[in-house]
Amino acid sequence: MQAVPALSSAPSSPEMLRGKRVIVTGASSGIGEQMAYHLARMEAHLLLTARREAKLQKVVERCLELGAASASYVSGSMEDTTFPEVVVKEAENTWGGLDMLILNHIGHSFFNYFNGDVGHVRKLLETNFLSYVAMTTAALPMLKENEGSVVVVSSMAGKIGTPFVAPYSATKFALDGFFSSLRHEFIIDKVNVSITLCILGYIDTENAVRAVSHAIRDTPAPKEECALEIIKSGALRQRELHYPSWVVGSLVLLRDIAPDFLDRSIRSNYKVENIKRT
Ligand SMILES: NC(=O)C1=CN([C@@H]2O[C@H](COP(=O)(O)OP(=O)(O)OC[C@H]3O[C@@H](n4cnc5c(N)ncnc54)[C@H](OP(=O)(O)O)[C@@H]3O)[C@@H](O)[C@H]2O)C=CC1
Ligand SMILES: CC(C)CCC[C@@H](C)[C@H]1CC[C@H]2[C@@H]3C(=O)C=C4C[C@@H](O)CC[C@]4(C)[C@H]3CC[C@]12C
């Protein structure tokens, strides 16, 4: 009998997404950029989006070098309520269909004590949450037709309360509520569109390391591996991804059986003396 390689031992298994049409948001840097490169190696068709056009141009070029079936971008801000539809329309016009929607972008926030800025929370909800709802709504007809997948990138801070990220954490908890409810409805309604919620711990992207390395004792996990795990979990239509699995898995378990113990250990991971109030 021939041995079947495990998915993890075939990092860029081309069959997984070859020829599939994929939108990646927040693809100009960090985990989104790394997802674009993995998808390119898998020979997918790519539509990338973020605000910075020059960065997107470079990522598209590299995707084509790596073997993408096609690659293009639309630049714009998800703070603009009309932009989600613009992106989905672009996919409709170029491909006439869609297989996977990867929602990954986040607006800028601060890593600090909550300063009472309600306007910031409102703006962040638009960028990090409402635009995800709008993108999914606009893409749903195409996703239904192709029995596609929605991949929602969230965080441990969207499952467990952690300090200094109150506005961000709220937007990530909102994603869990919305998309976990929607998943039920799809199943009840026999809509064959999968929803994968990705719960990530601390990842070594430039922005994350710059924002928190002075105040967090943890070592971040690699963005390249993280990006691949996200794509795999979406392709396998899993309900949730926990990455790194043992860290996130055990914290989520502790949340329900020993919440005070968990909160204390979370706080002990922070060098609070390095958080300067702004
Ligand atoms: N890194 C980490 O430790 C963790 C990350 N995550 C999640 O992973 C995902 C990716 O994070 P990471 O790679 O670190 O983030 P980055 O900051 O590296 O990337 C964020 C992306 O979003 C884009 N973006 C920012 N503002 C807007 C906007 N207003 N409209 C549209 N796009 C925007 C940025 O591009 P541009 O500036 O060009 O618009 C960029 O492409 C996020 O959902 C995050 O919550 C979860 C847990 C931990
Ligand atoms: C108890 C410990 C074992 C684990 C604690 C985990 C903490 C350290 C992890 C879990 C989720 C992480 C945040 C996150 O999701 C996304 C971002 C956005 C980025 O631009 C800036 C960094 C930030 C705020 C991360 C900061 C570190 C967080 C709070």
Centroid of ligand 1 to alpha carbon of 189 (angstroms): 32
Pocket test for ligand 1, best of 23, 24, 29, 197 (most atoms within 8 A of CB): 29
Distance of CA 67 to the CA centre of its chain: 23
Centroid of ligand 2 to alpha carbon of 19 (angstroms): 34
Q: Percent of the chain beyond pLDDT 90?
A: 93
Centroid of ligand 1 to alpha carbon of 274 (angstroms): 24
Residue 12 pLDDT greater than 70, yes or no: no
Tell me what the mean pLDDT of segment 95-111 comes to.
Answer: 98
pLDDT in tens, 183-200: 999 999 999 999 999 999
- Tell whether ligand 1 has an atom less than 6 A from the beta carbon of residue 128: no
The pLDDT of residue 14 is 55
Residue 205 pLDDT greater than 70, yes or no: yes
Of residues 141 and 276, more confidently modeled: 141
Give the number of the atom of ligand 2 that is nearest the alpha carbon of residue 216.
8
- Tell whether ligand 2 has an atom less than 6 A from the beta carbon of residue 215: no
Residue 1 pLDDT greater than 90, yes or no: no
- Residue with the smallest CA separation from ligand 1 atom 21 is 26
Centroid of ligand 1 to alpha carbon of 75 (angstroms): 14
Of residues 11 and 103, more confidently modeled: 103
Look up 37 and say whether it is catalytic: no
Give the mean pLDDT of the chain. 95
Residue 105 pLDDT greater than 70, yes or no: yes
3-state SS, the chain, equals CCCCCCHHHCCCCHHHCCCCEEEEECCCCHHHHHHHHHHHHCCCEEEEEECCHHHHHHHHHHHHHHCCCEEEEEECCCCCCCHHHHHHHHHHHHHCCCCEEEECCCCCCCCCCCCCCHHHHHHHHHHHHHHHHHHHHHHHHHHHHCCCEEEEEEEHHHCCCCCCCHHHHHHHHHHHHHHHHHHHHHHHCCCCCEEEEEEECCECCHHHHHHHCCCECCCCECHHHHHHHHHHHHHCCCCEEEECHHHHHHHHHHHHHCHHHHHHHHHHCECHHHCCCC
The pLDDT of residue 278 is 81
- 16: confidence class by pLDDT, cuts 50, 70, 90: confident
- Tell whether ligand 2 has an atom less than 6 A from the beta carbon of residue 31: no
Pocket test for ligand 2, best of 105, 153, 155 (most atoms within 8 A of CB): 155
- Residue with the smallest CA separation from ligand 2 atom 20 is 208
- Tell whether ligand 1 has an atom less than 6 A from the beta carbon of residue 123: no
Q: How far apart are CA 112 and CA 163, in angstroms?
A: 8
Q: Which residue has the tokens 């539809």?
A: 85
- What is the pTM assigned to this prediction? 0.95
